[in-house]
Amino acid sequence: MRLADGRAAHREYIRHPGAVMIVPFLDSRTVVLVRQYRYPLGRHFYEIPAGKIDTGETPLQTARRELKEECGYAARTWRHLTTIHPCIGYSDEHIELFLARGLTHVGDAPDDGELLVLGNRGGRVYVWAAG
Amino acid sequence: MRLADGRAAHREYIRHPGAVMIVPFLDSRTVVLVRQYRYPLGRHFYEIPAGKIDTGETPLQTARRELKEECGYAARTWRHLTTIHPCIGYSDEHIELFLARGLTHVGDAPDDGELLVLGNRGGRVYVWAAG
């Protein structure tokens, strides 16, 4: 590439396949979260479900898959909210953010490799009541 | 590291020095933004000023430096709002978010290497009036 003053410059950045994040509403006040150990930061976080887009998947297909794999839910209605670029300076990553409503619990099926431990309390996935 | 089932696993992630982002209020309705070409995404973005923490700097020192370098402003009052982990799955990056108020224009001094072109309209840095 060339800078505005004509000098040549070299830029390195990360190619990322893209990812999705899902805000899954159980009801108007309750969002399903997952608890996950994040190795780079050395601790657990409560997060909205998320995951990388696999080759050949549309973002919506990824969102459906991740909501089922991480939380065991299927959703009746899906809405794309926005696109986020979390590391604009050194990565082309894009995160497609979806709203999921009309949830039905269809059984947990966490990724074998990830060993996600969903926090079950009284048979329910960890939830956080907003407001 | 070891997974919960006892298998050994290898995790690679990015070590990042950390960064700051600044929300600089010119007045209660006006935030100073910078326009910058982001090579990984191949286009310009309007952004709040931000930058990486240099060795030996506190996050507040970085924030003061970046606000001056990118926008030409000094701020009278600074408030740390929160810490963001933008790439929790593959990087230890943390972004310290600051609120800056009581701005004084002390002259633009963009980084030579970055060649930031601040959008000046009628002598003013690009601003966005909220609400």
From A92, A115, A117, residue closest to B41, measured CB to CB: A92
Q: According to the model, what pLDDT value does residue A100 have?
A: 97
Q: Is the pLDDT confidence value at B5 over 50?
A: yes
Domain membership flag for residue B45: yes
The domain tally of chain B equals 1
**CATH code assigned at B34:** 3.90.79.10
- φ/ψ of A41, rounded to 5, equals -105, -5
Domain membership flag for residue A6: no
The CA–CA distances, whole Å, from A108 to A34, A50, A65 equal 12, 15, 12
Domain membership flag for residue B5: no
Its ipTM equals 0.71
| Mean pLDDT over the full length of chain A | 81
Q: Is A68 helix (H, G, I), strand (E, B) or coil?
A: helix
Quick check: B88 and A41 CB within 8 A? yes
Domain membership flag for residue A64: yes
Mean pLDDT (whole number) for B65-69: 92
pLDDT confidence of A8, banded at 50, 70, 90?
low
Nearest by Cα to A59 from A108, A110, A97, A113: A97
Each residue's pLDDT tens digit, A110-125: 444 344 444 445 444 5
| Mean pLDDT over the full length of chain B | 81
Chain A positions in Cβ-Cβ contact with residue B70 (cut-off 8 Å): none
Selected for mutation to probe chain A from B1, B14, B20, B90 (highest A CB count within 10 Å) is B90
Selected for mutation to probe chain A from B39, B97, B111 (highest A CB count within 10 Å) is B39
β-strand partners of A50: A21
Task: For the full predicted model, state whether its pTM sits above 0.90.
Answer: no
**Exposed, middle or buried, A18 (CB in 10 Å: 0-12/13-18/19+)?**
middle
More confident residue, B101 or A30: B101
Mean pLDDT (whole number) for B56-82: 95
Domain membership flag for residue A35: yes
Domain limits at B109? 19-130
Domain membership flag for residue B13: no
More confident residue, A129 or A120: A120
Domain membership flag for residue B8: no
pLDDT confidence of A129, banded at 50, 70, 90?
very low
The CA-CA-CA angle for residues B28, B32, B38, to 5°, reads: 145
Each residue's pLDDT tens digit, A51-75: 999 999 999 999 999 999 888 889 9
Domain membership flag for residue B39: yes
Each residue's pLDDT tens digit, A82-111: 999 999 888 999 999 999 999 998 875 544
Tokens 């003061």 — which residue? B64
Quick check: B40 and A5 CB within 8 A? no
Q: Is the pLDDT confidence value at B4 over 70?
A: no
Each residue's pLDDT tens digit, B89-129: 889 999 999 999 999 988 755 444 343 444 445 444 555 43
B123 touches chain A (CB under 8 A): no
Chain A positions in Cβ-Cβ contact with residue B21 (cut-off 8 Å): none
